[in-house]
Amino acid sequence: MKNLIRFAVLFILVPVFIFAKGNAPEDAVASLKAGNQRYVEGKFKARNYRAERTEQSKGQHPYAIILTCSDSRVAPELLFDESLGRIFIIRVAGNVTDPVVLGSIEYAAEHLHVPLLVVLGHTKCGAVKATVEGGHAPKNIDTLVAKIAPAVKKAREKAENEEDILSKAVEENVYLQVANAAKESAILRELVHENKLKITGAMYDIDSGKVEFYSGATASH
């Protein structure tokens, strides 16, 4: 009977251990998609935030890293209907990469063994719109614009008309930042090469609430 109990405990714990060590990015994507579907349908999980807070005080075990925009309408815990401590979130205007952002991502991927990084763009992004419109920008904002500019250039080449440029630029910016995350971080490149991390892109539609994952915007081994 004792051996049976030990086997049952092992059966439960081993998948959790593997997941925590970063071997299940597909499971992480599936969890995010399921949570977003609940959000879209308004069928949220019942939560006891006091109990969650007590449990999370013992340590964090996120299963996904989300790099997204600082836009106040984009709140990953809500749009993925997730609990405290389950998503490691970095928010910056235009969801761009830089050394500070990459340092945060590297910590989660290497030390917390998170198996998935999602660069999450969103429709009607103000940072991308400002880049599309051009004009003078204060120095710090100009630095941000410079990070997005290559995506806008590519969008202008692909857009069929002027009205399409912004939506194309928002999409191209996701692809760009996915590529930059791997290109600008040796640690992330190594984790991807070792199949310990998958980097992918997604788009949040502010009107519908739906998140679309981009199969083509992926950095993986």
Span 159-183, pLDDT tens digits? 888 889 999 999 999 999 999 999 9
pLDDT beyond 90 at 15: no
pLDDT beyond 90 at 5: no
* CA gap 179, 189 in Å, rounded: 10
7 pLDDT tier (thresholds 50, 70, 90): very low
Determine the residue type at 104: S
The CATH superfamily of 2-219 is: Carbonic anhydrase (3.40.1050.10)
The two structure tokens encoding residue 110: 């290497």
* CA gap 94, 28 in Å, rounded: 23
Domain residue extents for the chain: 2-219
User: Which three-class secondary structure string do you get for the chain?
Assistant: CHHHHHHHHHHHHHHHHHHHCCCCHHHHHHHHHHHHHHHHHCCCCCCCHHHHHHHHCCCCCCCEEEEECCCCCCCHHHHCCCCCCCEEEEECHHHCCCHHHHHHHHHHHHHCCCCEEEEEEECCCHHHHHHHHCCCCCHHHHHHHHHHHHHHHHHHHHCCCHHHHHHHHHHHHHHHHHHHHHHHCHHHHHHHHCCCCEEEEEEECCCCCCEEEEEEEEECC
Tens of pLDDT, residue by residue over 180-213, are 999 999 999 999 999 999 999 999 999 999 999 9
* Pairing assessment for the beta strands 198-204 and 87-91 based on DSSP bridges: unpaired
Q: What's the pTM? A: 0.85
| Average pLDDT of the segment spanning 10-19 | 37
29 pLDDT tier (thresholds 50, 70, 90): very high
68 pLDDT tier (thresholds 50, 70, 90): very high
Which of 125, 114, 62 lies closest to 92 in space, CA to CA? Answer: 125
Residue 138: the pLDDT is: 79
Tens of pLDDT, residue by residue over 48-64, are 888 888 888 888 999 99
Determine the residue type at 76: P
Instruction: Judge whether 52 and 83 are in contact, CB under 8 Å.
Output: yes
